[in-house]
Amino acid sequence: MDLTDNHHLKQERSEPCPGTLYLVGTPIGNLGDLSPRAKHILKNVSLIACEDTRRSGNLLKKIDSKAPLLSYHKHNFKSRQSRLLDELKNNGSIALISDAGLPGINDPGEELVNAARSNSFEVICIPGPCAAITALVISGLPSERFCFEGFLPKKQSLRKRRLEDISKEHRTTVIYVSPHQLIKLLEELSILCGENRPIQIARELTKRYEESIGSTIEEVIEYFSINKPKGEFTLVLGGSKKNEESKISESEVLNKLNSLIKQGEKSNIAAIKISKETGYEKKWLYSKLHKKLDK
Ligand code: SAM
């Protein structure tokens, strides 16, 4: 890989290419994350398609780009398509940007990429920040295999089904959530996944007040009961351990619990330890303990 300035200049001279759609990653909070290549493309394409012309106008002013802007968002993407394809047909080059982050990840993009490809135009990504990946890699949760859920549906029946699937998923799951939906979502996850489930919440990534809040659902609910959610959040949920850890049966789990108590451990501490070891819910273990005491 040649990363010398020379190579960089060569690249700047040859891009943007006519008849090419560029998906350009823009910062999710820190302007310093806009790459030199992204700046170059944004200054030299014949048209920039963006979600919000005012918001992107501010970014483009900062880098002194004079490229014309065309709004392209979830309410007008169908009607804009032919105008954008004409631009490519006429040997123009387009940069598609979203309000923040990588276009095509939970914002318009997919349809335009599809249309450009179907019409045999080149599509190139100028990679940049993506909240989902940024949150995942700092979470400390397994990242070898993971799922991305974006925003969960608002419609109750769809949402319930999606949440049930997420709660059973063995891989780490990344979810986008607005600040006013955060506590509701955590409570829903707590019921389905149990309060011990590992979680890391990334707040205000790349910005001045960036923070990571974890490490179990119970702990983050407690945190947000004191600190009102403000800013932007990406939630990274650890996978379910159920039926994964050598399929320990319920009776084996209860034997483990009883033997720990017989060894002198307090029942609530024993339940916490066994829950961590086996992935069985703490609440379920407690309920079994109480049933025994009731008998
Ligand atoms: N395409 C974007 C990307 O690549 O990240 C995502 C766009 S999506 C419409 C916006 C959501 O991404 C926010 O509601 C939030 O969940 C997440 N997000 C964006 N910026 C963030 C940040 N700085 N910190 C945490 N989450 C962020």
Q: Identify the CATH number of the domain in which residue 163 sits.
A: 3.30.950.10
Report the pLDDT value the prediction gives residue 278, as an integer from 0 to 100: 80
Q: How far is CA 186 from CA 77, 142, 183, in A?
A: 33, 20, 5
How close is the Cα of 159 to the center of ligand 1, in Å?
A: 20
Report the pLDDT value the prediction gives residue 293, as an integer from 0 to 100: 47
Contact 172/239 with Cβ under 8 angstroms?
yes
Residues with CB under 6 A from ligand 1: 28-29, 98, 100-102, 105-107, 130-132, 176-178, 202, 204-207, 232-234
Nearest to residue 56, comparing CAs of 79, 84, 81, 34? 34
Q: What is the β-pairing status of strands 199-203 and 211-213?
A: antiparallel
Whether 229 and 288 map to the same domain: the answer is no
Report the pLDDT value the prediction gives residue 128, as an integer from 0 to 100: 96
How close is the Cα of 205 to the center of ligand 1, in Å?
A: 9
Q: Is the dihedral of CA 80, 84, 85, 86 positive or negative?
A: positive
Whether 26 and 76 map to the same domain: the answer is yes
Whether 223 and 260 map to the same domain: the answer is no
**Amino acid at the residue 39:** K
Report the pLDDT value the prediction gives residue 243, as an integer from 0 to 100: 66
The residues, ordered by sequence, that sit 6+ positions from 165 with a Cβ below 8 Å of its Cβ are: none
Atom of ligand 1 nearest to the CA of 175: 16
Ramachandran assignment for 52, one of left (phi > 0), alpha (psi -120 to 50 degrees), beta (any other) = beta
Could you tell me the CATH number of the domain that includes residue 27? 3.40.1010.10
Let me know if residue 22 belongs to a domain. yes
Whether 221 and 255 map to the same domain: the answer is no
d(CA 91, CA 86): 9
Report the pLDDT value the prediction gives residue 144, as an integer from 0 to 100: 96
Whether 288 and 210 map to the same domain: the answer is no
Domain end (from 129, 162, 179): 129
Domain end (from 129, 162, 188): 129
Task: Tell me the two tokens of residue 156.
Answer: 């109750």
Let me know if residue 242 belongs to a domain. no
d(CA 105, CA 165): 21
Whether 44 and 143 map to the same domain: the answer is no
Q: Which of 126, 213, 233, 235 best tests ligand 1's pocket when mutated (most atoms within 8 Å of CB)?
A: 233
* Angle at which helices 5-14 and 36-44 cross, to 10°: 20
How close is the Cα of 9 to the center of ligand 1, in Å?
A: 32
In eight-state DSSP terms, residue 199 is E
Nearest to residue 20, comparing CAs of 122, 127, 126, 125? 122
Domain end (from 68, 96, 129): 129
Note down the domain range covering 19.
3-129
Whether 22 and 122 map to the same domain: the answer is yes
How close is the Cα of 268 to the center of ligand 1, in Å?
A: 39
Nearest to residue 159, comparing CAs of 180, 197, 182, 185? 185
How close is the Cα of 245 to the center of ligand 1, in Å?
A: 33
Whether 148 and 102 map to the same domain: the answer is no
How close is the Cα of 244 to the center of ligand 1, in Å?
A: 31
Task: Tell me the two tokens of residue 134.
Answer: 């940024």
Task: Tell me the two tokens of residue 28.
Answer: 């999710």
The residues, ordered by sequence, that sit 6+ positions from 248 with a Cβ below 8 Å of its Cβ are: 256, 278, 280
Provide the domain count of the chain: 3
Supply the residue whose CA is at minimum distance from atom 7 of ligand 1.
Answer: 106
User: Full-prediction pTM beyond 0.85?
Assistant: no
Let me know if residue 101 belongs to a domain. yes
Let me know if residue 102 belongs to a domain. yes
**Amino acid at the residue 112:** L
Report the pLDDT value the prediction gives residue 230, as an integer from 0 to 100: 97
Tell me the pLDDT of the chain (295 aa) as tens digits: 555 555 555 455 589 999 999 999 999 999 999 999 999 999 999 999 999 999 999 999 999 999 999 999 989 988 999 999 999 999 999 999 999 999 999 887 899 999 999 999 999 999 999 999 999 999 999 999 999 999 999 999 999 999 999 999 999 999 999 999 999 999 999 999 999 999 999 999 999 999 999 999 999 999 999 999 999 999 999 999 876 555 578 888 888 888 889 899 888 888 888 887 887 878 788 888 766 544 4
Let me know if residue 78 belongs to a domain. yes
Report the pLDDT value the prediction gives residue 204, as an integer from 0 to 100: 98
Whether 141 and 40 map to the same domain: the answer is no
* Sheet with 69-71, side-by-side order of all strands: 69-71, 47-50, 93-97, 20-24, 122-126
- At 294, which helix (H) or strand (E)? helix 282-294
Let me know if residue 15 belongs to a domain. yes
d(CA 180, CA 229): 7
Cα–chain-centroid distance for residue 227? 22
